[in-house]
Structure 1
Amino acid sequence: MDIQRTVLWIALAIVSYLMVLAWNEDYQPTSPNPTTAQQQTASQSTGDADLTAPDPDATDDEFATPETTDQPSVASGKSAPSEPDSGQTITVTTDVLKLTIDRVGGNIIGTSLLKYRADRNDPEPLKLLQNNPRLTYRLESALIGRDGPDGRNREEPPVYQAKQSSYQLGDDQDTLTVDLVLEARDGVTITKRYTLNRDSYEIDVRYRIDNQSDDAWQGNLAGKIVRDQSGDPTAQNTLGIQSFLGMVLSTPEDPYEKYDFGDLSDNPINRSVEGGWVAFLQHYFLSAWVPSDEMTHQYQTTRRNNLQVMGFVSQATSVAPGEQQQVGARAYIGPKVIERLETVAPNLDRTVDFGFLFFIAHPLFVVLDWFHSLVGNWGVSIILLTVSVKLLFFKLSATSYRSMARMRAVAPQLTRLRELYGDDRQRMSQEMMALYKREKINPLGGCLPILVQMPVFISLYWVLFESVQLRHAPFMLWINDLSVMDPYFILPLLMGASMFLQMQLNPTPPDPMQAKLMKMMPVMFTVFFLWFPAGLVLYWLVNNILSIAQQWYITRQITAEGTGKGS
């Protein structure tokens, strides 16, 4: 019985740990936004004009080309513009994306995800990339190196020309192409082409260099993710467990390396890699650069004043006089959906982090997603998943419930043994084990349901926490978001009541301490589950109801068998 008590304490310890995390997250003092504080400091020392004026030198010496060996130093110019001039931008809209592109540099400085909302009650689409005083998060691409218009020693940043100020994917179109044209120098024309497809968050960014001059042209493609160090605006800290916020680098040697802001500040990266990709992750969403897997790239990180710069520089591209060349990379700006990420780049789907029990969580999500394709409601899908898990472990649970039913039947004999050998614990344990063996009772049988449920429970939590499909997903009535806690605590109270009823079907443990612990468990679990995602509480509630039905039926069977033998 000591083993059974230990198992119960372990289960309580796991849930208690999650609860402590939630308490610390909810009541720890909030720290000021580091970016805001730095911008305020900068504005006090340099004036507001420096925060909004374009900085032509912002990219000078920022990234080294593969032809050089020196790690670039931190850029020390003025702060990058916090809000571009509206006359210098164009908008590009598809069925899922709305991009804002600055003609100065031709970079993506704003992105709205049209299929997602920032808040459940806000009809406005979620803005992932932004360039304003609250958040600086941009995706930049450039041609640097010897003749690149974005390279060092350029007096002014390149200003691209576009035929229109806005582009939109038509109902009869599957592909939208946006060309930005730059007369780089006499005889050299550079066209920066953005290509977007219907129902896709992938963007092809390609430079076409047309060299009609008398001299050879040479430059390096660079892709950068520029982000301040502010927090995650899409984070949902249901249990105090925060999703990862930072950079991920994928290489053939290590397909998934994570670096948070502290890592990037302490140890800047400068690594030569064939293929690979670089991404910036936040809860549910990411941005990534995926360069050609047939070339060697220099992956680097540095600082641009208070901004983190993460990206790559490709090998030099040379264009002979009278010739044309193209060089480019693919970008992804959107949700962390496994099916989409698998088609973009190898291992990019690993950004959907299902925790250390991923080998259980991923199959759970596959089954859950399949149920959703049938019924169209994630709450109903969770109920169907619960029934499936219950059927999978039906025989194991039945064996456990039979053991507990037999233990209830021999409860009077256990009471008698306690009266006879209460002062001799060793003798009482021997007699109890002999009784269990004689009656074919497994003393650990009551622990099996908990042991089976805990890995599934933890895995399902990560599925709910990481799956963007369940973000803002309604169930019915008052449950309008399964990924956060029940706003009225009705599901946790129902779960506690079901757990209390289930405990009534279990035999009273002979150990007084264990008996008190069993009586406290429904109350403690109810308190803990107040902070759990509603979808997770729904799973546990349905599982309890199914367990009660199964246990009640088996107990009646055992009782009937005992009555039949007695007659």
Structure 2
Amino acid sequence: MNFIRYGLIAAIAAVSIMLIHQWTQFKDEKHAQVAVERSNQTIVDTPTYNVPEATESSHNGDVPVDRGDQQAVTLPAKLEQSRYTKVNTDVFNVVIDQHGGDIVSVSLIGHKETQGKDGKPFVLLERTAQRTYVAQSGLIGLDGTDTANGRPMFNSAKSTYSLADKDTLHVDLTYTQQGVKITKRFTFNRNQYTIGVDYLINNQSSQEWKATLYAQLKRDNSEDPGANSSGMGMKPFLGVATRTNEDKYLKFTFKKLREEEFSAKVDNGWIAIVQHYFISAWVPPKDGAFYYSTYVTKNNMNIIRFKGESATVAPGQQGKISASFYAGPKDQDTLGALAPGLDLTVDYGWLWMVAQPLFKVLVWIHNIVGNWGWSIIFLTVLIKALFFKLSAASYKSMGRMRKFSPKMQQIKEQYGDDRQKQSQAMMELYKKEKINPLGGCLPILIQMPVFISLYWVLMESVELRHAPWMFWIQDLSAMDPYYILPVLMVGTMWFQQTLNPPPPDPTQAKIMKMMPFMFGIFFLWFPAGLVLYWVVNNTLSIAQQWYITKKIESGEIT
């Protein structure tokens, strides 16, 4: 009968795993299909004559409008045949809309939508029928180009630019405004995701020129296309982020933006939209204070922006107004060098104080071995070595419990239903033989902060996105496609339990027997890198515990 029961359990488990596998495969295929559809989307034109209402509080238009005198901008009667300027560098492809000079598309060459040689570049910014996510900038105020009457139509010498073998590329968009030549210059550098955005003002008029720089990120409420399907309940953050003079890092979900607006005057700050693995950010100049704000438009576009103080260029003089724009992976070193606190957008959760050192050590190991899978294994060995003595004390306690379990059973039978005398006799035995009844829980409690922290490191660090280990594991940040590592985890966890003394309570003993299988179900969805850590850790623990248990049973350790 037991054989039939266990056979039915095994059959149900096998069918469940096959169903999960088919569901996961379907979801991955659907994700790949959506990725291809996104990469094939064409840019959607915004209305050329965009006339927002005259105040920001209306939440209607894209452009922040200063109250007071406004100077109308005369737009061309007809658009040129192509209003888009395309820029190709070694790290990304960028499309700039000459209407306003907005960055309306950024695709990352080194980061693919889907894994494999046929994967297309990951689309971070886009303005398509499926998603709106753009970076905008302009000049507002008395002589600003962006006013209540519309935005400027710049001219571009070429429709396509390429960095090719150069180290630096300048892309100029020009606009003439009543004797003032305004050049919006985008500067691209080799191996950099940062774009310099400069307004070069050549005031050949007889009047003083005065305007204010603004820059903003605009995004709809669509889902994060870069979100990983692995994980149970720990969803990467999607929303806006910034810093203030009081707080190094503030973040707001799009839902929170609809509930409450944010505004502050900030020195040496930045604004960003954060998603899984990737980020876009505007960084104003370090000198001077800037006004930061967020709002949601009437058509449900989420906007975070900064505005500077008014800049003045005297007649016959030249001036420059600058900012930097970043669109790329959440690389901590790059972001930290770009602006203070921008590296905090790599969010490791509430255990960041544990996760951050783990990541640093993991990167250090990777620089030596060159493979993220082996780096995780060596990191596990280092963690195990760090807690070796603490784990040894726990295993000694469990080994003694295992050795004296016959005496414990004898005490239980001797005192029967007299719980008080039974507990008193057990405590005397524990004290005499130096047994800690809670010692078995200690290794798991020690591992949990490291486990959770490593989870966030694997989930949040772009370095591990699509990172292969060997054989069937080609993406350590995704779940094991064949569930081999989760099965090994269950096996090692079950074997480790056989080294532990059986709980005295029958109900507790049954629960403990089920624990490996319950954990295994959850681990089916965990990133393969995390399950690899757990399997290696269990294997090392088994070796250490088996050695100590044998020494205690032989009397070599008392």
- Residue 90 of structure 1 is aligned with which of 85, 92, 110? 85
Mapped partners of 2:168, 2:498: distance in 1: 63
The amino acid of 2:324's aligned partner reads: R
Residues 312 and 294 of structure 1: is their aligned pair in 2 closer, same or farther, counting only changes over 3 Å?
same
Match of 1:256 in 2: 249
Give the whole-Å Cα distance in 2 for the aligned partners of 1:127 and 1:62: 33
Change (3 A) 1:467 1:76: closer
CA distance in 2, matches of 1:180, 1:77: 20
CA 1:76–1:459: 2 relative to 1, 3 Å: closer
2:31 alignment partner in structure 1: none
Q: Which amino acid in 2 is paired with 1:110? A: S
Mapped contact 1:145–1:152 kept (Cα < 8 A): no
Measured on the aligned residues, the alpha-carbon RMSD in Å equals 2.2
Structure 1 partner of 2:426: 432
Partner SS, residue 500 of structure 2:
coil
How big is the shift at 1:52?
4.7
Counterpart of 1:241 in 2: which secondary structure?
Answer: coil
Shift of 1:99: 0.8
Identity, % of aligned positions? 51
Over 3 Å counting, the alpha-carbon distance change for 1:270 and 1:411 in structure 2 is closer
Q: Partner residue of 2:101?
A: 106
Q: In structure 1, how many angstroms separate the alpha carbons of the residues matched to 2:53 and 2:142?
A: 12
TM-superposed deviation, 1:477: 1.2
Cα distance change on mapping 1:76 and 1:215 into 2, 3 Å: closer
Q: How many residues align?
A: 500
Q: What is the TM-score normalised by the length of structure 1?
A: 0.85
- Which gives a bigger RCO, structure 1 or 2 (Cα 8 Å, sep 6+)? 1
Partner of 1:74: 59
CA distance in 1, matches of 2:526, 2:264: 41
SS at the partner of 1:442? coil
Counterpart of 1:553, as a letter, is Y
Is the 8 Å Cα contact of residues 400 and 435 (structure 2) preserved in structure 1?
Answer: yes
1:212 paired residue number:
204
3-state DSSP of counterpart to 1:91: strand
Corresponding residue for 2:37? Answer: none
1:405 aligns with 2:399: yes
- Residue 146 (structure 1) aligned to one of 142, 145, 154: 142
Where do residues 280-299 of structure 1 align in structure 2 (5 Å cutoff)?
Answer: 280-299=273-292
Question: Mapping of 1:13-412 within 5 angstroms?
Answer: 52=45, 54-58=47-51, 61=54, 63=56, 72-75=57-60, 87-121=82-116, 122-154=118-150, 157-171=151-165, 173-185=166-178, 187-238=179-230, 239-304=232-297, 305-412=299-406
Distance in 1 of aligned mates of 2:330 and 2:54: 33
Of residues 484, 488, 512, the one that matches 2:482 is: 488
Deviation at 1:268, TM superposition (A): 2.5
Secondary structure at 2:309 match in 1: strand
Once the two structures are superposed, residues 499-528 of structure 1 have per-residue CA deviations (whole angstroms, 9 ceiling, x without a partner) of: 111111111122222222221111111112
Tell me the alpha carbon deviations over residues 278-313 of structure 1, each in whole angstroms, 9 at most, x when there is no partner. Answer: 111111111111112321222122344232222111
Residue 513 of structure 1 aligns to a residue whose secondary structure is helix
Question: For 1:362 and 1:393, how far apart are their aligned partners in 2?
Answer: 18
Relative to structure 2, which stretch is displaced further, 331-340 or 268-277?
Answer: 268-277
The partner residue of 1:469 within 425, 444, 463 is 463
SS of equivalent residue, structure 1 residue 92: strand
Closer/same/farther in 2, CA of residues 59 and 314 from structure 1, 3 Å limit: farther
Q: CA deviation at 1:53?
A: 5.4
For the residues of structure 2 that align with 1:452 and 1:333, how far apart are their CA atoms?
Answer: 39
Q: Secondary structure at the match of 1:104?
A: coil
Counterparts of 1:450 and 1:107, CA distance in 2: 52
Cα displacement (A) at 1:547: 0.8
Residue of structure 1 equivalent to 2:500 = 506
- CA shift, 1:342, in A, is 0.5
Question: How far is 1:325 from its partner?
Answer: 1.0
* CA distance in 2 between partners of 1:167 and 1:465 (Å): 36
Cα displacement (A) at 1:553? 1.1
Partner SS, residue 482 of structure 2: coil
SS of residue matched to 1:128: strand
- The one-character-per-residue Cα deviations of 1:516-543 (angstroms, maximum 9, x if unpaired) are 2221111111112111111111100011
Deviations 1:333-376 (A, max 9, x none): 11111111111100001100101111111111111111111111
**Structure 1 stretches of at least 4 aligned residues deviating more than 3 Å after TM superposition:** 58-63
Cα distance change of structure 1 residues 76 and 338 upon mapping to structure 2, 3 Å threshold: closer
**235-244 vs 134-143, which deviates more?**
235-244
Q: Alpha-carbon deviation of 1:421?
A: 1.5
Q: 2:3 aligns to what?
A: none
Does structure 1 conserve the Cα–Cα contact (< 8 Å) formed by 2:182 and 2:200?
Answer: yes
SS of match in other structure, 1:356? helix
| Unaligned runs of at least 5 residues, structure 1 | 1-21, 27-50, 64-71, 79-83
Give the Cα–Cα distance (whole angstroms) in 1 for the partners of residues 273 and 106 of structure 2. 15
> What does residue 547 of structure 1 align with?
541
Q: Secondary structure at the match of 2:546?
A: helix
CA distance in 2, matches of 1:212, 1:316: 19
Distance across 2 between alignment mates of 1:369 and 1:416: 53
Looking at structure 2, the residues matched to 77 and 492 of structure 1 have their Cα atoms a distance apart, in angstroms, of 49
Q: Is the 8 A contact 2:52 2:149 kept in 1?
A: no
One-letter identity of the residue aligned with 1:202:
T
Alpha-carbon shift at residue 420 of structure 1 (Å) = 0.8
Deviations 1:399-453, CA, capped at 9 Å, x for gaps? 1111111111111100100101131112111111110111111222211111111
Alpha-carbon distance in structure 2 between the residues aligned to 1:433 and 1:361: 39
Contact 1:269 1:301 in 2 (8 A): yes
Determine the C-alpha separation between the residues in 2 that align with 1:237 and 1:77: 33
1:175–1:195 Cα contact (<8 Å) kept: yes
Give the aligned partner of residue 15 of structure 1: none
Give the equivalent residue in structure 2 for 1:420. Answer: 414
Are residues 1:518 and 2:512 paired? Answer: yes
Give the direction of change, closer, same or farther, for the CA distance of 1:86–1:514 in structure 2 (3 Å limit): farther
Describe the shift of the 1:469–1:77 C-alpha distance in structure 2 as closer, same or farther (beyond 3 A).
closer
TM-score (norm 2): 0.86
Shift of 1:175: 1.7
The amino acid of 1:349's aligned partner reads D
> How far 1:96 moved relative to its partner?
0.8
- 1:28-86 CA-to-partner distances (Å, cap 9, x unmatched) read xxxxxxxxxxxxxxxxxxxxxxx8552423556465xxxxxxxx3212699xxxxx997
Contact conserved, 1:226 with 1:308, CA < 8 A, in 2? yes
Q: Measure, in 2, the Cα distance between the counterparts of 1:390 and 1:62.
A: 61
Taking the aligned partners of 1:501 and 1:140, their CA distance within structure 2 comes to: 58
In structure 2, how many angstroms separate the alpha carbons of the residues matched to 1:517 and 1:506? 14
Query: Hey, what's the Cα distance between the residues in 2 that align with 1:275 and 1:284?
Result: 24
CA distance in 2, matches of 1:379, 1:256: 31
Q: Which residue of 2 aligns with 1:17?
A: none
Assess, with a 3 A threshold, how the Cα gap between structure 1 residues 85 and 347 changes in structure 2: closer, same or farther.
Answer: farther
